[in-house]
Structure 1
Amino acid sequence: MTGDSTTADARVVTACELLLDDLDAVTLEIAQLIRDDEPYYVDYMSRQQLADAIRPNIISSLQSMIRDEANSPTVARRTGRERAEDGVPLATVLHAYRIGTRYLWHELVRHCRPDPHASQALLGSASILWHSLDMSSEALATAYRDIETEQNFRDSRFREAALAALFSGVTTTGRGLADVAAALRLPKVGRFVVVASDPQSMEWSRSAESAERALASLGVRSVWRSEADSELGLVALTKTYRADRLNRYLASITTGRVGVSDVFESIVATPQAVTQALLARDAARPGTNVVMRFDEARVAALVTAAPELSVGLAQRTFEKVLDLPSEERGVLFDTLEAWFEAQGSAADAGNLIHCHQNTVRYRLNKLAQLTCRDPRNPVDVTRLYLALQAVRLLPEQTRG
């Protein structure tokens, strides 16, 4: 018979009906074959559960033979959705389909073999069975991937919400940060740091996944989130991968400013560490490539944390200096910065900026005259230092 007929040869129909009459035994046998060939199903479901799951597919395949036309892929689509939701690998599901179809074919051949005419008729209908397998496999795979895409979308949205909660400390689900950390597969206690960098300032910062992979290759667990003005990361340190090693690694890949918080031991302290890391990053001069630890940036962090006060201090302290031409102003600020770095030594400051110590003294005296601040007075020194930090860290605001 051909696919244009309403039913297959009567002898093929009889063979199919015999299998349908013995459906319980057929499905159990196929279930066992699948479990033997695909160990995944041994842990996934019992033999009887698997037999019940494949029953609609067996019925659909045999009915397609009886009608002598490819079956509707409705059952296959449902199977694809269900297996995707349960997390069964697609290749495993498709292999199970082939095992079942192969068994049905062998059983049909066995029933038709005694009658040469029945065997000949079965060969004429063989294309229906295998065409149905192809159609079902395609429909199953499409439905499976649709569910997989939906799951990935849900997972990515959940992950994004979890990361936002972790770094901000604000959850919209009522779950605590410890629960959020568990969802992200992070330990609740340990030794952690938060890293904050300028956007796109690290080699792998184009995606959170690449950042995690880069550190995971070093045996370090981390999670990352891209925000409008920063890249944020929580890094779980280990006994062999401590903060100093992380800092060296960050320095080797950064092309901008990176701030690192103090080490903390409870995951619930992450939001406070985010503040530290951002303050440490902002304490570095804009446009520089540097890894700044919060412990090293506390004074500068005070400046950036109160920008209005800091800008006011700088403008009031350096009012006359800021009116000078750009080049002259820059020379005076560079000299003052070198003098601070040299801990008040004119000779060492001169070495840093490649000039004679007397030149350093001359420039400092000029600054003292312009600012009415004496570098020998501790109070004036403190004011000059903070005002200089404001000029370096907030250049556009301080220069109006």
Structure 2
Amino acid sequence: MVTAPVVVAACERILEDIDGLTERVSHQIREAEPIYLTTVTWEQLIESVRPNLVGLLQSLMMEETASVAAPRRTGRTRAGQGVPLPPVLHAYRLGVITIWSDLVELCSPDPEASRALLASAQKLWTALDVYSQELAAAYRDVETEQLLRDARLREAALAAIFSGIAPQGRTLAEMADVLRLPATGQFVVIVCEPAESAESAESEGGEEQGPRGVQVAEGPEVSGSAPSVEKTLAALGVRSAWRSEVDVEIGLAMLTPTYRLDRLAAHLASLTLGRIGVSRVYTGLTETPAAVAQARLAREASVPGAGALTHFDDARVPGLLLGSPVLADDLRRDVLGALGELPDGEVERLLETFRAWLDAEGSAEGAGRLLHCHPNTVRYRLTKLTSLVGRDLKRPLDVVHLFLAAEAQRLQLDAG
């Protein structure tokens, strides 16, 4: 629809004093949206408002919306300045309302001009819609670019902290700032299964026990992905940063006086994370690479599929065996070779009883409580085990050999 000449003439009269209109609208924006007082200078606001007002008036005068370069530029600029999108869109509406008020004032003395203006109203509000859409699209483009840039910087910071090697020209302290972590504090590193592996392990088995009796606690069903774990810890007041690698998820968590290691470990064990390894507590981020190695070793010492949590201090013996696989396998064959004729389930039952006996400090009654069976059943299984392997539980060296062989057997089965 062609705009009536009388409306075009009114728009031209407003354009003759575009600077005055720009100042009036800018004052209205600052009064309605205080963030423009603290974030955008007066000169920047004037520079942005003027071309947008000109474009809106030209859109009313022409048969189609004028160039959308102004709203696109405004959207990108305000996003870069950190002004939220709603106040920016409100500023546009204020501009259109002011234009409309001026047009009504100019056309009202003439009934024919007023009718023509009403007939053209849709064009002005359509132009506002187009400008708002273009502004919002440009604004979100900048948000996406910022998110990608922040994600790349965060990934680089995590890689630097976990490896101990900062990018050229940067320091580890600067990398810690990116992650919003202090350089010193109470930290632990957590290593767990990749999301797919953790979910698969959870679907295959129920509640089980890991090394040294660490039991999986029931808890909320939380995905094993790094972002979801970071969010659930943040909800508890625990700051953490996670990185997904090909074989594991690695997290750096900062302990607090109210959320110490034991409480954190209990919560982690309640999540769907598969095998979990936790490092020792350390106090400086420069120690993180060593803590990553500790947590990886602790995870490797866990039982696959059990969803158990293993501390590094409980993983040192398995770590020694994993570090010398040939010697570990030779010890296993030498001590447990006589069990080869038994069914797999029977071998595991005898070794499980032996481990329970160790955890119960050599008490058949205590082992029976752990295994939910009668102490005499424990004694019978231990007698059968020691008679087959030719060892005596009263001789400390035999107990040591049998313990190491049992651990080597567990790790060998894990590898299989």
- Tell me, yes or no, if the aligned pair for 2:279 and 2:295 is still in contact at 8 Å: yes
Task: Give, in whole Å, the separation in 1 of the partners of 2:74 and 2:104.
Answer: 27
Task: Give, in whole Å, the separation in 2 of the partners of 1:355 and 1:206.
Answer: 39
Match of residue 131 from structure 1: 126
Match of residue 217 from structure 2: none
Q: Which region of structure 1 is more displaced relative to structure 2, 262-271 or 122-131?
A: 122-131
Unpaired runs of 5+ residues, structure 2, are 200-220
Task: Give, in whole Å, the separation in 2 of the partners of 1:48 and 1:286.
Answer: 64
How far the C-alpha of 1:31 sits from its partner, in A, is: 0.6
- 1:141 is paired with a residue whose SS is helix
Match of residue 392 from structure 1: 410
Match of residue 209 from structure 2: none
Match of residue 209 from structure 1: 227
Does structure 1 residue 99 correspond to structure 2 residue 120?
A: no
1:290-329 equivalences in 2 (<5 Å): 290-322=308-340, 324-329=342-347
Deviations 1:28-66 (A, max 9, x none): 111110111111211111233211111111111222233
Task: Give, in whole Å, the separation in 2 of the partners of 1:196 and 1:132.
Answer: 54
- 1:235 is paired with a residue whose SS is strand
Match of residue 161 from structure 2: 166
Does structure 1 residue 262 correspond to structure 2 residue 283?
A: no
Equivalent residue for 2:254, pick from 217, 236, 246: 236
CA RMSD, Structure 1 to Structure 2 (Å): 2.8
Count of residues in correspondence between the two structures:
390
TM-score, with normalisation over the residues of structure 1?
0.86
- 2:270 is paired with a residue whose SS is helix
- Tell me, yes or no, if the aligned pair for 1:368 and 1:375 is still in contact at 8 Å: no
Equivalent residue for 1:114, pick from 100, 109, 116: 109
Residues 20/250 of structure 1: CA separation in 2 closer, same or farther (3 Å cut): same
Does structure 1 residue 277 correspond to structure 2 residue 277?
A: no
- Tell me, yes or no, if the aligned pair for 1:257 and 1:287 is still in contact at 8 Å: yes
TM-score, with normalisation over the residues of structure 2?
0.83
Task: Give, in whole Å, the separation in 2 of the partners of 1:211 and 1:347.
Answer: 39
- 1:265 is paired with a residue whose SS is strand
Equivalent residue for 2:8, pick from 10, 13, 17: 13
- Tell me, yes or no, if the aligned pair for 1:165 and 1:180 is still in contact at 8 Å: yes
Match of residue 33 from structure 1: 28
How far the C-alpha of 1:123 sits from its partner, in A, is: 2.9
Match of residue 176 from structure 1: 171
- 1:253 is paired with a residue whose SS is coil
Deviations 1:211-265 (A, max 9, x none): 1221222122112223333222211111111111112222333563222211111
Residues 390/177 of structure 1: CA separation in 2 closer, same or farther (3 Å cut): farther
Task: Give, in whole Å, the separation in 1 of the partners of 2:20 and 2:368.
Answer: 95
Residues 305/41 of structure 1: CA separation in 2 closer, same or farther (3 Å cut): farther
Does structure 1 residue 359 correspond to structure 2 residue 377?
A: no
Deviations 1:67-87 (A, max 9, x none): 354223232222222222333
Unpaired runs of 5+ residues, structure 1, are none
How far the C-alpha of 1:13 sits from its partner, in A, is: 3.3
- 1:273 is paired with a residue whose SS is helix
Residues 394/141 of structure 1: CA separation in 2 closer, same or farther (3 Å cut): same
